[in-house]
Amino acid sequence: MNSSSPILLFDSGVGGLTVLGEVRAALPQAPVIYAADMAGLPYGTKSEAEVAARVAGLLGRMAERYQPRLICIACNTASTIALGMVREVLETPIVGTVPAIKPAAALTETGVFGLLGTEATMRQKYVDDLEHAFAVGKRLLRHGANDLVPLAEAKLRGERVSIDAVAEAAKGLVLQEHGREMDTIVLACTHFPLLEDELREAYGADMRFVHGAEGIARRIASLTEGQDFERSGPDRAITTGELEDFERLAPAFARYGLDRLEKF
Residues recognised as catalytic: 75, 189
Our measurement of the distance from residue 70's CA atom to the centroid of its chain's CA atoms, rounded to an integer in Å, reads: 16
Of all helices (H) and strands (E), which one includes residue 189?
Answer: none
Q: What's the burial of 28, exposed, middle or buried (CB within 10 Å: 0-12/13-18/19+)?
A: exposed
DSSP symbol at 86: H
Tell me the β-bridge partners of 195. Answer: none
Dihedral sign computed on CA atoms, order 211, 104, 52, 90: positive
Contact 117, 77 (CB under 8 A): yes
Number of other residues whose CB lies within 10 A of the CB of residue 60 = 14
Rg of the chain on CA atoms, in Å: 18
Which three-class secondary structure state does DSSP give residue 116?
A: strand
Angle formed by the axes of helices 148-156 and 163-174, nearest 10° = 150
Sheet holding 94-95, edge to edge: 94-95, 70-73, 7-11, 32-36, 236-239, 260-263
Contact 11, 240 (CB under 8 A): no
Which three-class secondary structure state does DSSP give residue 65?
A: helix
